[in-house]
């Protein structure tokens, strides 16, 4: 049996440890996320506009878009049907490859049409600078990349972009026929809290 005084000290230490643990819990821990959701009924949705360039580097010493699978019939197909790549493409503030990196587009793309050159895009836009550092947006969409504008849904997000929805409009800014490398301009309109 503990003496009342020892018991008091014991309980005090326990509550101190618990409050320290709660305070130490990261902003993206389960308690913080639950808190965030509990405040949602009073939260106001806002619109954020993002603009950046996506560098699809398929050749050279350090390609960032790498084919990983194909069907036997892929290279007999005029539309490369069945060719799947994994990408980790840099996103930059300006159109030049050396301009400031603001994030990465990480995901899987696959040629998914028999009739035209088009890709299924499944991407996480992982931001690494400024107020969006550590936040992500998820894009799942249809990308007929020979067309001028391609509209792809933003289906969700994390961090600053929790419960995001919106649209990404992609437009090829530069395409090098010899290397296959492309620079694509992205305009993103996203609703979030
Ligand atoms: C693909 O080609 C390989 C080699 O020619 C063959 O062994 C395999 O059975 C083919 N797969 C399909 C799904 O046709
Ligand atoms: C982004 O966040 C990471 C992890 O918190 C940190 O290491 C990095 O320095 C930050 N980058 C910028 C540009 O703020």
pLDDT tens-place string over residues 9-30: 666 665 655 555 555 567 889 9
Q: Return the pLDDT at 26.
A: 77
How far is residue 135's CA from residue 27's CA, in Å, rounded to a whole number? 12
Ligand located closest to 128 CA:
2
> Residue 132 carries which DSSP code?
G
Q: Return the pLDDT at 105.
A: 98
Q: Return the pLDDT at 28.
A: 87
Q: Which of 89, 97, 100 is nearest to 126 (CA)?
A: 89
Q: State which ligand 2 atom lies nearest to the alpha carbon of 130.
A: 14
Per DSSP, the three-state class of 23 is helix
Residue 4 has pLDDT above 70, yes or no: no
Which residue(s) pair with 26 in the sheet? none
The dihedral formed by the CA atoms of 132, 66, 156 and 136, expressed in degrees to the nearest 10: -20
Half-sphere exposure of 59 (CA within 13 A, CB side): 8
pLDDT digits (tens, 9 = 90+) for 106-163: 999 999 999 999 999 999 999 999 999 999 999 999 999 999 999 999 999 999 999 9
Q: How many residues does the chain have?
A: 193
Pocket of ligand 2 (CB under 6 A): 128-129, 133-134
Under 8 Å between Cβ of 185 and 170: yes
Using most ligand atoms within 8 A of CB, pick from 102, 103, 131, 133 the residue to mutate for ligand 2: 133
């Amino acid at each position: 049996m503990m003496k009342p005084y020892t018991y008091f000290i014991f309980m005090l230490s326990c509550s101190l440890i618990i409050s320290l643990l709660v305070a130490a819990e990261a902003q993206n821990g389960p308690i913080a996320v639950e808190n965030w959701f509990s405040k949602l009924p009073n939260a106001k949705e806002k619109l954020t506009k993002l603009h950046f360039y996506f560098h699809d580097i398929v050749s050279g010493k350090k390609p960032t878009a790498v084919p990983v699978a194909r069907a036997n019939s892929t290279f007999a197909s005029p539309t490369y049907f069945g060719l799947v790549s994994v990408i980790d493409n840099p996103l930059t503030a300006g159109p030049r490859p050396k301009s400031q990196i603001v994030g990465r587009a990480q995901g899987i793309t696959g040629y998914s049409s028999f009739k035209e050159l088009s890709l299924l895009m499944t991407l996480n836009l992982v931001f690494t600078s400024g107020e969006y550092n550590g936040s992500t947006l998820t894009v799942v969409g249809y990308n007929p990349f020979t067309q001028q504008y391609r509209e792809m849904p933003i289906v969700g997000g994390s961090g600053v972009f929790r419960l995001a929805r919106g649209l990404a409009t992609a437009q090829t800014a530069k395409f090098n026929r010899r290397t296959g490398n492309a620079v694509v301009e992205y305009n993103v309109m996203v609703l979030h809290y």
